[in-house]
Amino acid sequence: MKPGKVYLIGAGPGDPGLLTIKGRDCLALADVVIYDYLANPVLLGYMRPDAERIYVGKSRGKHSVPQDEINQLLVDKATAGLNVARLKGGDPYVFGRGGEEATYLHRNQIPFEVVPGVTAGFAAAAYAGIPLTHRDITTSLALLTGHERPERKLSSLDWQKLATGLGTLIFYMGMTNLKMISEKLIEHGRPVETPVAIIQWATLPRQRTLTGRLDQIADQVASAGIKPPAVIIIGEVVRYREELRWYDNLPLFGRRFLLTRPYAQAAGMVALLQAQGAETICIPTIEIAEPTDWSDCDQALARLSDYAGLILTSANGVEAFFGRLSSRNLDLRALAGVEIIAVGPKTARVIEKYGLKPDLIPQDFRAEGVVEELLASGVSGKHYLYPRTEIARSLIPDRLNAAGAQVDAPVVYRTIAPQGKQEMIRHLLEAGELDAICFSSSSTFDNLQAMFGDELAKLKKATDFFSIGPLTSKTIRKHGFEVALEPAKSTLDDLVTAMVEYYKNCEA
């Protein structure tokens, strides 16, 4: 059997946006993804759904899988004819043991390719506002590991050259030996007032940056309780941080939010929040399921030409409707002459994905807005198709039918509670690690309430509840909880903008 190929992929330092396009593409074609502790698990979203995932991560003091076993695992999977993505934090060839893995693959005649990644030292400096080189300060830098094999002691380094011959020093995995590193550099001529930056969890919203003098930094780190993973940057360039810092000045930096929809559906909001510096966690409290009976929908699809308008009020409804349309061997031609009505811009964007532009998007992005604008244009004697979720309100058919229209409202999808998510959410709430939970529909809250019942009030603690709009807010309040934030318009953009203003006012 012809062996598969192994891709040694640098996952970057943590921010999923720093994965290269080539790395993303290699993940998408892999049959197996073998990933590390420092590789952001969000990147696994680029995998094929049927691909196998294997975690071999290491954390300080704990080795999940020994390196020799990882090497053999790569060979075994490739020998079985599978394409393997080996996802490693940072860059595979910068303190990532990628060279060891590549050597083992070569010796076993397994084809491989190396996909470089953004190494942690470079990214940490950029996100902390530190230029590693500057023509007014230094044009040299060195990358070093502060944690080598036991037989290769740090004391064997040429400390004289490091102290006086190089401008900027970047130590990886050096937190345990920080005091010794500082003392050695001072002993060999580095000035005690040399600035140092310690950057923990670089490029992530939990990033912490501590600066100080070379002779004091170890004590400062101990007092601040900063632990690995962290990068140490030593040199005069650190002085630029106060002028050039940008990441930890973002308005939602350091905030942590739980999104209650599946990642694929929440990706737009994830991107908006991360652009403002927030950390997002997606743990869905709903899953989308097919209706128990398609007969009403199929009957409507058989007579599409009878309808004056198609009313679509959610992205899920759009996906379900067009999916069923295709499964019945129909295409867009079946909608010729039918007015397409979208409840809001998000739903409109999903409709446009199928090659149609909505004829109507109301100013008020709710069912009320749809009804208001249709009534204003006249609906008497018209026939409308309204594909809906099982728990949708009856407002649209009730009000349009009362005005002389005829509305068919077949169920095209259901929302159900996912299994196995309760303990993940419980941990976050009990640990007090969430600033807020964002609810994008009534069902996302209903299912959370069903998970915990009366216990939710105790678990909530200081976590705020943010709502996408009035209907969701009404559901939250019905259960006795306060809504800390609701945007003026029920869109993700407006919700994120409102969140920025909310925390700005909290800090004022």
The helix/strand/coil state of 306 is helix
Radius of gyration of the chain (CA): 28
Of 2, 497, 1, the closest CA to residue 252 belongs to: 497
Longest dimension (CA), the chain: 91
Q: Which of 5, 15, 31, 36 is an active site residue?
A: 36
Q: Is 58 a catalytic residue?
A: yes
Listed in sequence order, the residues at least 6 apart from 107 whose beta carbon sits closer than 8 Å to its beta carbon are none
Q: Which of 241, 237, 245 is nearest to 142 (CA)?
A: 237
The CA distance from 54 to 44, in Å, is: 11
The yes-or-no answer on residue 494 being catalytic is no
Query: Angle, to 10 degrees, between the axis of helix 345-353 and the axis of helix 315-327?
Result: 20
Which of 208, 187, 191 is CA-nearest to residue 199?
208
Give the Cα separation of 32 and 40 in Å (integer): 17
CB 384, CB 308: distance < 8 Å:
yes
Tokens of 193: 């007032």
The residue from 58, 179, 460, 489 that is catalytic is: 58
The full DSSP string for 104-134 is HHHHTT--EEEE----HHHHHHHHHT--S-B
Residues annotated catalytic, as ranges: 36, 58
